[in-house]
Amino acid sequence: MKIFKTKQTLQTYQKKLREAKQRIALVPTMGALHEGHLSLIKEAQQIADVVVCSIFVNPTQFNDPSDLEKYPRPEENDLQLLQAIGCDVAFLPTVEEMYPKKEESWHLDLGSLEQVWEGEKRPGHFQGVTQIVYKLFRLVEPDVACFGQKDFQQVMVIQRLIDVKNLSIVIHICPTVRSEEGLALSSRNIRLSEAGKHKALTLYRSLSHIKRYFKIRKLNTLQKEAFDILQQEDEVEVEYLAICETRSLQEIERIDPTKKHVALLVAWVEGVRLIDNMLLD
């Protein structure tokens, strides 16, 4: 596995790959890798000749400085995992490398995606996400970029970035990796105790209920039933639960058979904010 820490060394290597007409896949991560991330690498290996995994904790997408400070950075373990799975390239730049100017102006028109759900709860977050992903896209010039379904709104935001900037990059959405019981794997749920992980399983049960009865029950009834399932566990605090159209993420009042739909859910368990979703069609 090649390891690069500067843009120049990565670009020199990428130039050789381009000259050899290699198909390149990019898997952008913030490190603290787990099975969910590794599943993205595995899928990327199936659809590309070379897989580049970036590890960078991006400061511009954090609203809370303490959250940025607490974010885990087990670099040595991450590299061992990438090596073991056969990743081709790891890119681990510093903040100074990616943001040579301290105050960079960036704004992308994200439409309503920036006003709903995670956009509303975390102002400026998706501007930070698109800023760093665009830098990585320009640097790596991948043919395909792999993202996990778990952060579904983020995937739609990245698709918007590709559309607005007219980039010839295909997004490959990889299914959410879950524990045997159904808990969506994430770097945040590592902070849960075993009891907390058990309580968090109610998120999966609630979303599964919505998927099972999506075309059978009235939407308001279905949403109430799903919320009641969440309330069965003490100390699970629901932030939002919504059934939306996939591209705009606007909440629906009726099912449109010409469109796709997704259930979005965010809840707090043991002080940890858990994000999950399920495609319904």
Segment 178-210, tens digit of pLDDT: 999 999 998 888 889 999 999 999 999 999 999
Please state, for a pLDDT cut of 90, what percent of the chain lies above it. 93
pTM value > 0.85? yes
For the cut 90, the answer to whether the pLDDT of residue 104 exceeds it is no
How confident is the model over 152-159, as a mean pLDDT? 97
**Which CATH number does the domain housing residue 128 bear?**
3.40.50.620
For the cut 80, the answer to whether the pLDDT of residue 124 exceeds it is yes
Torsion angle, CA of 43/168/277/153, rounded to 10 degrees? 140
Token duo for residue 60? 């511009």
Binding-site residues, in ranges, read 30-37, 61, 148-151, 154, 177, 185-188
pLDDT reported for residue 67:
85
How would you class 235 by CB atoms within 10 Å of its CB: exposed for 0-12, middle for 13-18, buried for 19 or more? exposed
Based on the fold, state whether residues 157 and 42 are members of the same structural domain.
Answer: yes
Active site residue 107: no
List pLDDT tens digits, range 247-262. Answer: 999 999 999 999 999 9
List pLDDT tens digits, range 42-54. Answer: 999 999 999 999 9
Q: How many domains does the chain have?
A: 2
Based on the fold, state whether residues 62 and 9 are members of the same structural domain.
Answer: yes
- Domain that residue 203 falls in: 189-279
Let me know if residue 181 belongs to a domain: no
Based on the fold, state whether residues 70 and 44 are members of the same structural domain.
Answer: yes
pLDDT reported for residue 70:
84
How confident is the model over 13-22, as a mean pLDDT? 95
DSSP string covering 90-122? EE---HHHH-SSSS-------GGGGTSTHHHHS
For the cut 80, the answer to whether the pLDDT of residue 103 exceeds it is no
Based on the fold, state whether residues 93 and 31 are members of the same structural domain.
Answer: yes
C-alpha dist (Å) from residue 232 to 213, 239, 275: 19, 16, 18
Q: End of a domain among 146, 174, 202?
A: 174
Based on the fold, state whether residues 41 and 119 are members of the same structural domain.
Answer: yes
Let me know if residue 182 belongs to a domain: no
Binding-site residues for ATP, in ranges, read 30-37, 148-151, 177, 185-188
Q: End of a domain among 174, 202, 231?
A: 174
Q: What is the mean pLDDT of the chain?
A: 95
Binding-site residues for (R)-pantoate, in ranges, read 61, 154
Based on the fold, state whether residues 260 and 195 are members of the same structural domain.
Answer: yes
Based on the fold, state whether residues 92 and 197 are members of the same structural domain.
Answer: no
Set 37, 125, 172, 209: catalytic member: 37
Let me know if residue 184 belongs to a domain: no
Token duo for residue 174? 């990889």
Binding-site residues for beta-alanine, in ranges, read 61
How would you class 276 by CB atoms within 10 Å of its CB: exposed for 0-12, middle for 13-18, buried for 19 or more? buried
How confident is the model over 232-257, as a mean pLDDT? 95
How confident is the model over 134-145, as a mean pLDDT? 97
Q: End of a domain among 174, 207, 224?
A: 174
What are the helix (H) ranges across the chain? 7-19, 35-47, 65-70, 75-85, 95-98, 118-121, 125-140, 152-165, 194-213, 219-231
**Which CATH number does the domain housing residue 241 bear?**
3.30.1300.10
